[in-house]
Structure 1
Amino acid sequence: MAKKLAVRVDDRLIHGQVVTQWVKVFHAQKIVVIDDQVAIDKMQKSILKFAAPPDLKVSILSVEKAAEAWKKNKFGSGNVFVLFRDVKQIAKLQEAGVSFDEITIGQMAVIHDRKQIYKQVGLSESEAQTLMDIEKSGVKLCFQMQPTDRKESLEIMRKTFPNLH
């Protein structure tokens, strides 16, 4: 069972800011990336593993495999930093019976039907509703780009999407 667990959404997954700030602040020994597409793409898996420092264990799992690993031993021992590319993967994992206490929302590019919500966070209305639904289940959610930034509540989404429920 993980000693400490931090969960973050960042569409860049493993990159400089995650490795130099988040992982260090959290003292993580392991990163678990949960993403169905990345889990089956050998090239992306190689790139992500290469982006992590050599002393950091990296696991890249589909939602199904992540649910199995969680039920088996909650991602192993030590401090574990969990990364998702998008909020839909979190909802899918929650449907499989896995829920986290707290999730930080980081960068999600403002592309397609996404609107800027907070700094470099863009969400579509359906993604914003997914976050609201996850929060209703008892998970603490906040927006935070860097560990030194103040945490922002999901309420800021209502300025852009007033019909969220």
Structure 2
Amino acid sequence: MEIVNVRIDERLIHGQVAAVWTNTLNATRIMVIDDMAAKDEIQKIALKMACPSTVKLSILPAEKAADRLKSEAYPTDRIFVVLKGPKTIKQVADAGYMFPVVNVGNMSNKHGSTQVKRSVSVTPEDVAAFRELTDRGVKFTAQMVPTEEKIDFMPLIKDL
């Protein structure tokens, strides 16, 4: 089992993730980690439709995802993990699995958020979660598409 990328993208699986990222990473499985999506049959159907037919898909709540990752349940897969935000990463970490590097790709503008990069807006709660996870050893990068240069994400939120 190899985790080829962990990406925060509120849209989960969409054209950019399904076509560009999955192909560039040569991923064989997309793992969506989201408690709500794992319970919502309509969202699961939509995610299955958006997933490339050549790629396996897992839609799991945070705790179950941590268990699967700890047990290396997908021994031959190249896994592309997609989740909505730092809160979910914290849930996975609290369940015993730590991602060493996470790519911050898309977090939409919402009430109380501050835009820190094109397509990335963070709330004070997001900033607190990013800082806590950084203190626990997670490195955050920002990269919208694979051809864009990866940059260190934390300087973007240092003054918030």
TM tier, shorter chain?
over 0.9
Spell out, residue by residue over 1:5-64, the C-alpha distance to the aligned partner (whole angstroms, 9 max, x if none).
Answer: 310000000000011211111100000000000000000000001101111100000012
Q: Within 1, Cα distance between the matches of 2:158 and 2:139? A: 17
Indicate the residue corresponding to 2:158 in structure 1: 158
1:74: how far off?
Answer: 5.2
Q: Which residue is 1:86 aligned to?
A: 85
Q: Distance in 2 between matches of 1:43 and 1:13?
A: 14
Q: 1:29 corresponds to which residue?
A: 28
Structure 2 stretches lacking a partner, 5+ long: none
Query: 2:86 and 2:73 mapped to 1: Cα distance?
Result: 20
Give 1:137's aligned residue: 136
In 2, the alpha carbon distance for the partners of 1:59 and 1:104 equals 19
Post-superposition CA distance 1:97-124 (Å, at most 9, x none): 1101210001110112111011110100
Which AA in structure 1 matches 2:89? I
- 1:3 is displaced (CA, Å) by 2.8
Partner of 2:48: 49
Letter in 1 for 2:30: I
Task: State the superposition RMSD in angstroms.
Answer: 1.3
TM-score, length basis structure 2: 0.94
Deviation (angstroms), 1:149: 1.3
Structure-1 separation of matches of 2:144 and 2:44: 24
Per the alignment, residue 10 of structure 2 pairs with: 11
Identity of aligned residues (%): 34
- Structure that is richer in strand per residue: 2
Moved over 4 A (4+): none
